Amino acid sequence: MKSFFSAAVLSFVMTLPVLADPKSDISFIVEKTVTRALFEGALKVQRPLIISALENDFRKKNLVINDSETFFDLFVDEWIDAFTLNMQERTGAIYRDLFSDQELADIAAFYRTDSGLAMIRQSPALMQAGAEIGGLAGAEAAEGANKRLAARMRSENITIDSPSVTQQLLDILE
């Protein structure tokens, strides 16, 4: 009788919902998804744009760096760990605001599966590929937008700064 009672209690307990620990779930999710590797993938694609912006900023300050690539690498080495930690903390707060305790438990459970772990492993590559195709899609969309904007500026007689600046813009856009 005792073993029957134990089995019955165990069966009952196994059917009870597991109480989620939202803080642990958030920590796990963020630790696995907001990573240095993820940001390194994004930086790889954005590198030329960021270096160009740095060079322009330095030029405004009368400083020319001949080896911007090395400077950028040094800067990223000093910056990325603090950035990643800051992003993890902020992302955790966003997860807390957007998801219920049960949803957090479900998301964490997914990331613990083989498919979830595969998703985590491939996230940096997905981020990098998304940034690359985003750049291409943006350039293609801009090409059509340039011509449409020029036509709109002409049809609505829009002037930016002065007629000569407007004409220079139209020449570039068309």
Mean pLDDT by 10 residues, the chain (174 residues): 50 47 94 93 89 92 92 92 95 96 96 96 91 88 88 94 93 90
In a domain, 31, yes or no: yes
In a domain, 13, yes or no: no
Helices (H) and strands (E) in the chain, counts: 7, 0
In a domain, 70, yes or no: yes
Number of folded domains in the chain? 1
Quote the tokens at residue 21. 């620990």
Residue 117 CB contacts under 8 Å (≥ 6 apart), including other chains:
111
In a domain, 138, yes or no: no
The reported pTM is 0.66
Task: Write out the residue range of the structural domain in which residue 55 sits.
Answer: 21-112
